[in-house]
């Protein structure tokens, strides 16, 4: 398809540690289309964040290394391009918003300085214009009295404000793609709703392509167009959000959805998927999910499931459908 | 160019305006420490003395054997005077005079003038040598922490080697080779004194490097240079200030010690040089050695008190 703006193919990012090879991302495929919000969903430790960091090669190297795969953006393979080329792309074409707003802002620089610096890094504007732009951006993020916030230090702002500042920083150079790494996890519910509104607004008004990383299916339902469910460093199901929620195919996806509390039913105990995410050093052979899967078959522990097409937009990696 | 300059001035003035709050906060914290405040007061006094003092004192190099070994105000000494005619020593009582409030040395030079110009020299030595050491140490420490890997290893092993050298012996060696000019002494102290700073800055930067804002800066396209100078170094400034304040007295003492063993620059009258000259005449003119000694003592004490106070004030964990 033509309107794919970013293509990730068979991405494998391993960390070579003293205790063994951590296969944090082990063969992930997805593509991001122009103007859509793609959600990466999964439990902690399934490789969502490392996938995002891999796109801009931001993990520590060593020990981390992209051992295989392709990330194509604008005719460029981001896994092999030079670090100087990548630096030009970071922030200008692809920006990332981190989860912990508190630690993602430099404590000794004012908010204004941090945004202005960011703008001047990529755009050929002088200080005064960069400052105006920073102020406008903060205003657009719904920050009241942006002028005075510019002179604040990060510790003087609340968590939600800091998250908005981070988003403003991410947007400061009009990137094509915005990667948001759990931007709603560290804030409370009302702020969460406001932040989601910002992202929805970005999508509709700026036609921005967003990769939204979250473990919260409720968030996915609200802002996602399509979702990639990840497990054990692999993508296990890719589908439009309505399909993921209404017609999940992979037992893991259905498990996640069953875990959502339903206010209309009053069954005392909340459902959960038994067991924990696999140790990324020793990912089970075959399908990584089989030790926890209620529908596991013999073949599941022996052979990795191939990608199966359910419908044009719905793909799943599970032996149930082969 | 002018536009750029205006940018910078605008930013700096904005920073100063905004930071008055923060400076005020640290001042409030430091102020509670009486010793630190008195240290600061003494240092300010010393700086003023070094800058404007020489305009009001006599010429420190002017010898006058008629007026040699005059004691400070309030003291009286006995001097034996040899007379050629009678071939006899006569003793005479010599009181301190207001012309030479701190007395004169064995060549009749005014001690007050010498102490004041010595303050200038000692402060210069302390500030410049510490500046060199701090800049070197910061750069080496931050680079080491930020780049990691073999760079870190190489730099830190080099630091180890520098640390194992007996510092003073190295100084003596350098000065012996290059000659005792003040510039070389300062340079030598600066070039050998950075090791501790490098270690401290490295350990602080190591923890900063993994903080998310550094990754975030990189994610938004910042170069290594930018990360180091905009994000790492500003975060260790408070540490640098404390290290600098605490290492200035060491440097001043090192220069004095070098002078004392005769390796000082003989063309300037630093406190160490005066002290060294005074030790030979302790019997006849004790004040020549004691006065620069007291000044050294007070200066070192003042910087140490201030450094301790600043360290406590900058430490968010300390409750003062």
- Bin A67: left if φ > 0, else alpha if -120 < ψ < 50, else beta: alpha
Residue A105 has its nearest CB partner, among B10, B213, B218, at B213
CA dist A254 and B34 (Å) reads: 68
Task: For helices B2-31 and B34-52, give the axis angle rounded to 10 degrees.
Answer: 130
Which residues pair with residue A26 across a beta bridge?
Answer: A12
Residue A90 has its nearest CB partner, among B18, B211, B218, at B218
Most A-contacting residue of B19, B216, B222, B223 (CB-CB within 10 A), to test interface: B216
Most B-contacting residue of A106, A113, A174 (CB-CB within 10 A), to test interface: A106
How many other CB atoms are found less than 10 A from the CB of residue A169?
28
Judging contacts by C-beta atoms under 8 Å, the chain A residues touching residue B219 are: 56, 58, 90-91, 95-96, 98
Cβ of A151 within 8 Å of Cβ of B223? The answer is no
Res B156: pLDDT? 92
Question: Is B163 in the same domain as B130?
Answer: yes
Res B135: pLDDT? 92
pLDDT band at A52 (very low <50, low <70, confident <90, very high): confident
> Would you call A109 an interface residue with chain B, using a CB distance cutoff of 8 Å?
yes
Cβ of A151 within 8 Å of Cβ of B18? The answer is yes
| A282 has a pLDDT exceeding 70 | yes
| A322 has a pLDDT exceeding 60 | yes
Res B269: pLDDT? 79
Indicate the CATH number of A4-93+175-259 among 2.70.98.10, 3.40.190.10, 3.30.1330.10, 3.40.50.300.
3.40.50.300
A178 backbone dihedrals φ, ψ, rounded to 5°: -115, 125
> Would you call A108 an interface residue with chain B, using a CB distance cutoff of 8 Å?
yes
Stretch B8-34: mean pLDDT: 72
Give the number of C-alpha atoms closer than 13 A to the C-alpha of residue B145, restricted to the C-beta side: 26
Tokens for A313, please give them: 């937009």
CA separation, residue B124 to residues A220, B219, B260 (Å): 64, 43, 18
Secondary structure of residue A59 in the 3-state scheme: coil
In a domain, residue B104? The reply is no
Cβ of A103 within 8 Å of Cβ of B231? The answer is no
Question: Is B7 in the same domain as B127?
Answer: no
One-character DSSP codes across B47-71? HHHHHHGGGTS--TT---GGGTTPP
Res B16: pLDDT? 63
Looking at the complex, report in whole angstroms how far the Cα of residue B286 sits from the nearest Cα belonging to chain A. 52
Cβ of A106 within 8 Å of Cβ of B235? The answer is yes
How many other CB atoms are found less than 10 A from the CB of residue A290?
20
| Selected residue with higher pLDDT from B24 and B11 | B24
Judging contacts by C-beta atoms under 8 Å, the chain B residues touching residue A98 are: 212, 215-216, 219
Cβ of A121 within 8 Å of Cβ of B219? The answer is no
Res B221: pLDDT? 81
Tokens for A100, please give them: 């912990």
Looking at the complex, report in whole angstroms how far the Cα of residue B116 sits from the nearest Cα belonging to chain A. 39
Which residues pair with residue A308 across a beta bridge?
Answer: A316
Question: Is B219 in the same domain as B125?
Answer: yes
A137 backbone dihedrals φ, ψ, rounded to 5°: -60, -45
CA dist A173 and A42 (Å) reads: 30
Tokens for A177, please give them: 């793609």
Tokens for A137, please give them: 């951006």
CA dist A167 and A181 (Å) reads: 11
Res B154: pLDDT? 92
Judging contacts by C-beta atoms under 8 Å, the chain A residues touching residue B223 are: 87
| B44 has a pLDDT exceeding 70 | yes
Res B319: pLDDT? 60
Tell how strand A314-317 and strand B76-83 pair up. Answer: unpaired
Question: Is B17 in the same domain as B45?
Answer: no
> Would you call A104 an interface residue with chain B, using a CB distance cutoff of 8 Å?
yes
A94 touches A32 (CB < 8 A) = no
CA separation, residue A193 to residues A121, A165, A184, B294 (Å): 31, 16, 8, 68
Shortest CA distance from A56: residue in chain B: B219
Q: Tens digits of per-residue pLDDT, A257-281? A: 888 777 776 667 777 787 777 777 8
Judging contacts by C-beta atoms under 8 Å, the chain A residues touching residue B237 are: 108
Res B157: pLDDT? 92
Question: Is B293 in the same domain as B206?
Answer: yes
In a domain, residue B308? The reply is yes
Res B177: pLDDT? 86
Judging contacts by C-beta atoms under 8 Å, the chain A residues touching residue B3 are: 126
Q: Tens digits of per-residue pLDDT, A130-185? A: 888 888 888 888 888 888 888 888 888 888 888 888 888 888 888 888 998 888 87
Question: Is B131 in the same domain as B114?
Answer: yes
pLDDT band at B131 (very low <50, low <70, confident <90, very high): very high
Least confident window among A69-73, A209-213, B132-136? A69-73
Looking at the complex, report in whole angstroms how far the Cα of residue B109 sits from the nearest Cα belonging to chain A. 52
Shortest CA distance from B219: residue in chain A: A90
Looking at the complex, report in whole angstroms how far the Cα of residue B48 sits from the nearest Cα belonging to chain A. 32
Pick from A293-297, B34-38, B42-46, B119-123 the range whose average pLDDT is largest. Answer: B42-46
In a domain, residue B96? The reply is no
- Mean residue pLDDT across chain A: 84
CATH number at residue B193: 1.10.3720.10
CA separation, residue A94 to residues A73, A175, A195, A299, B122 (Å): 10, 5, 19, 40, 55
Q: Tens digits of per-residue pLDDT, B49-74? A: 888 887 777 777 777 767 777 777 77
| B283 has a pLDDT exceeding 60 | yes
Stretch A42-59: mean pLDDT: 84
pLDDT band at B130 (very low <50, low <70, confident <90, very high): very high
Cβ of B222 within 8 Å of Cβ of A121? The answer is yes
pLDDT band at B136 (very low <50, low <70, confident <90, very high): very high
Secondary structure of residue A227 in the 3-state scheme: strand
Question: Is B50 in the same domain as B172?
Answer: yes
The 3-state DSSP composition of chain B as helix, strand, coil percent (nearest 5) reads 70, 5, 25
Largest distance between two CA atoms of chain B: 93
Q: Tens digits of per-residue pLDDT, A55-108? A: 888 877 778 888 888 888 887 888 888 888 888 888 888 888 888 777 888 888
Q: What is the pTM of this model?
A: 0.74
Looking at the complex, report in whole angstroms how far the Cα of residue B317 sits from the nearest Cα belonging to chain A. 16
Judging contacts by C-beta atoms under 8 Å, the chain B residues touching residue A95 are: 219-220
Question: Is B49 in the same domain as B18?
Answer: no
In a domain, residue B263? The reply is yes
Give the number of C-alpha atoms closer than 13 A to the C-alpha of residue A223, restricted to the C-beta side: 32
- % of chain A exceeding 70 in pLDDT: 98
- Mean residue pLDDT across chain B: 82
Most B-contacting residue of A64, A94, A104 (CB-CB within 10 A), to test interface: A104
B250 touches B193 (CB < 8 A) = yes
> What sign does the CA torsion over B181, B182, B187, B192 have?
positive
Cβ of B235 within 8 Å of Cβ of A107? The answer is yes
Cβ pairs A/B, distance under 8 A: 74
How many domains in chain B? 2
Cβ of B11 within 8 Å of Cβ of A127? The answer is yes
In a domain, residue B205? The reply is yes
Residue A98 has its nearest CB partner, among B18, B212, B237, at B212
| Selected residue with higher pLDDT from A178 and B88 | A178
Largest distance between two CA atoms of chain A: 66
Stretch B129-142: mean pLDDT: 92
CA dist A172 and A93 (Å) reads: 11
Question: Is B220 in the same domain as B278?
Answer: yes
Looking at the complex, report in whole angstroms how far the Cα of residue B103 sits from the nearest Cα belonging to chain A. 51
Shortest CA distance from B210: residue in chain A: A60
Question: Is B20 in the same domain as B113?
Answer: no
Looking at the complex, report in whole angstroms how far the Cα of residue B12 sits from the nearest Cα belonging to chain A. 11
Res A269: pLDDT? 74
Q: Tens digits of per-residue pLDDT, B185-243? A: 888 888 888 888 999 999 988 888 888 888 888 888 888 888 888 888 888 888 888 88
Question: Is B25 in the same domain as B146?
Answer: no
Question: Is B6 in the same domain as B125?
Answer: no
Residue B220 has its nearest CB partner, among A95, A108, A109, at A95
In a domain, residue B182? The reply is yes
* Owning domain of residue B146: 37-67+109-314
């Amino acid at each position: 398809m033509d309107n794919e703006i970013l293509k990730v193919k068979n991405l494998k990012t391993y960390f070579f540690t003293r205790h063994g090879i951590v296969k944090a991302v082990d063969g992930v495929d997805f593509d991001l289309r122009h103007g859509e919000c793609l959600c990466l969903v999964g439990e902690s430790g399934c490789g969502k964040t490392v996938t995002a960091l891999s796109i801009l090669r931001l993990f520590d190297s060593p020990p981390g290394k992209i051992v295989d795969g392709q990330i194509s953006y604008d005719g460029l393979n981001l896994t092999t391009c030079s670090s100087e080329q990548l630096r030009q792309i970071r922030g200008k074409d692809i920006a990332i918003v981190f989860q912990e707003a508190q630690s993602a802002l430099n404590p000794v620089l004012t908010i204004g300085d941090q945004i202005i610096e960011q703008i001047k890094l990529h755009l050929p504007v002088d200080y005064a214009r960069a400052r105006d732009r920073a102020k406008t951006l903060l205003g657009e993020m719904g920050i009241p009295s942006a002028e005075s916030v510019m002179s604040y230090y990060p510790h003087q702002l609340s968590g939600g404000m800091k998250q908005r500042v981070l988003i403003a920083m991410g947007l400061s150079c009009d990137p094509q793609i915005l990667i948001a790494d759990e931007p709603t996890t560290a804030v409370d519910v009302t702020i969460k709703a406001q932040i989601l509104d910002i992202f929805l607004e970005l999508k509709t008004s700026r036609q921005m392509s967003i990769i939204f990383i979250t473990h919260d299916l409720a968030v996915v339902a609200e802002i996602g167009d399509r979702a990639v469910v990840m497990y054990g460093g692999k993508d296990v199901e890719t589908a439009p959000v309505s399909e993921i929620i209404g017609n999940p195919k992979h037992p893991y996806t259905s498990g996640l959805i069953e875990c959502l509390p339903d206010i209309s039913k009053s069954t005392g105990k909340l459902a959960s998927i038994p067991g924990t995410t696999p140790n990324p050093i020793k990912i089970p052979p075959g399908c990584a999910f089989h030790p926890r899967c209620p529908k596991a078959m013999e073949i599941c522990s022996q052979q990795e499931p191939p990608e199966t097409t359910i419908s044009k937009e719905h793909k799943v990696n599970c032996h149930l459908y082969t | 160019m002018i536009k750029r300059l205006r940018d910078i001035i605008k930013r700096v003035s904005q920073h100063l305006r905004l930071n008055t709050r923060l400076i005020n906060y640290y001042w409030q914290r430091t102020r509670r420490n009486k010793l630190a405040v008195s240290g600061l007061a003494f240092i300010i006094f010393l700086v003023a003395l070094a800058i404007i003092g020489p305009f009001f004192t006599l010429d420190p190099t002017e010898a006058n054997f008629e007026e040699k070994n005059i004691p400070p105000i309030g003291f009286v000494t006995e001097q034996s005077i040899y007379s050629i005619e009678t071939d006899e020593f006569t003793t005479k009582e010599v009181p301190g005079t207001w012309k030479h409030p701190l007395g004169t040395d064995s060549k009749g030079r005014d001690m007050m003038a010498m102490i004041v110009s010595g303050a200038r020299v000692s402060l210069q030595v302390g500030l410049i040598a510490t500046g060199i050491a701090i800049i070197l140490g910061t750069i080496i420490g931050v680079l080491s922490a930020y780049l990691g890997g073999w760079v870190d290893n190489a730099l830190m092993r080099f630091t180890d080697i520098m640390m194992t050298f007996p510092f003073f012996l190295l100084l003596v060696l350098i000065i012996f080779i290059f000659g005792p000019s003040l510039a070389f002494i300062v340079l030598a102290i600066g070039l050998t004194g950075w090791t501790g700073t490098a270690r401290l800055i490295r350990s602080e930067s190591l923890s900063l490097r993994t903080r998310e804002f550094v990754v975030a800066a990189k994610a938004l396209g910042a170069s290594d240079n930018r990360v180091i100078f905009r994000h790492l170094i500003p975060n260790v400034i408070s540490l640098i200030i404390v290290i600098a304040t605490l290492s200035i007295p060491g440097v001043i003492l090192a220069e004095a010690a070098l002078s004392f063993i005769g390796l000082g620059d003989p063309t300037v009258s630093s406190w160490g040089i005066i002290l060294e000259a005074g030790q030979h005449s302790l019997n006849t003119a004790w004040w020549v050695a004691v006065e620069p000694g007291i000044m050294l003592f007070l200066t070192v004490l003042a910087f140490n008190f201030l450094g301790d106070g600043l360290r406590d004030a900058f430490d968010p964990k300390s409750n003062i």
